[in-house]
Amino acid sequence: MLNAFSALARGTRLVLSPGLRRYVFLPILANLLLYVGTLVYLFDNFGGWIDYGMRQVPGWLAWLEWLIWPLLVASLAVAVFFTFTLVANLIAAPFYGFLAEKVERQVTGRAPLDDRGFARAAVDALGRELVKLGYILPRMALLFLLGLVPGLNLVMPFLWAAFSAWMMAVTYLDYPMDNNLVSFVEMRRRLRARWWPTLTFGGWVMAASWVPVLNLLLLPGAVAGAVLMWQQHYRDLPVAAERAKRP
């Protein structure tokens, strides 16, 4: 049974193979430029964000500042890097969808159900990314608001970690599902039906996104890994679900 870590590792090896590595050059270049810009912006502003957050701590929690400060740093770091990943995927989405198609052809020997040309796939991929953002951003905003509640911010790093794992799974596992005519609503239902592979895969992708420089290669590897996960864990779920509903 393919697990999340082996899918990510095998996917990274796949995108380095001679038949596929030419498809990852442009996503890597786009992510590199965004990565450098994010680091520059982060170094310029992170200290001010931390100072502002600490000023919001009520007086009666002052004795917990030694714990609140690292938790606040962790929450901001997760939020910033998760936002970076969202923007990076929005830019690279047309290339990632095309890469997922090529990986599926190589792994299975057949084309996805929706065998589009690159131009149409690029337009459709951007539309699908906007759907993802419409799903993700309100939930991110809710977490930010919860982080302003005194006392609740103590558990925010754990909530951000769980949320990030789920959103990474939604982001990357959607590429092969979109290529196979699975709607966004149906895709989320399948992810919930296989919640453990979903969260572990998203967790490993989140961890990979934190590895400096190497993440530029690991994220395209996550696209290939998502194709492997699709084949192993999610492809046959609709048939099984329909049969389960029949008397």
* pLDDT per residue of the chain (247 residues) written in tens, 0 to 9: 578 999 999 999 999 888 788 788 877 787 778 777 777 877 777 677 667 666 666 666 666 666 666 767 776 676 666 677 677 777 777 788 888 989 999 998 887 876 666 555 666 777 888 898 899 889 988 888 887 777 776 787 788 889 989 999 999 999 999 989 899 999 999 999 999 999 999 999 988 877 877 777 888 899 999 999 999 999 888 544 444 443 3
Residue 242 belongs to a domain: no
Residue 243 belongs to a domain: no
Residue 129 belongs to a domain: yes
Residue 75 belongs to a domain: yes
Q: Tell me the residue range of the domain where 153 lies.
A: 4-235
Residue 122 belongs to a domain: yes
Residue 140 belongs to a domain: yes
Residue 108 belongs to a domain: yes
Q: Which two tokens stand for residue 189?
A: 């239902």
Short-list 107, 110, 113, 115, CA closest to 232: 107
Given the structure tokens 């992510």, which residue do they identify?
A: 31
The number of folded domains in the chain is 1
Short-list 242, 141, 128, CA closest to 187: 128
Sign of the CA dihedral running 181, 186, 192, 193: negative
Residue 39 belongs to a domain: yes
pTM of the model: 0.76
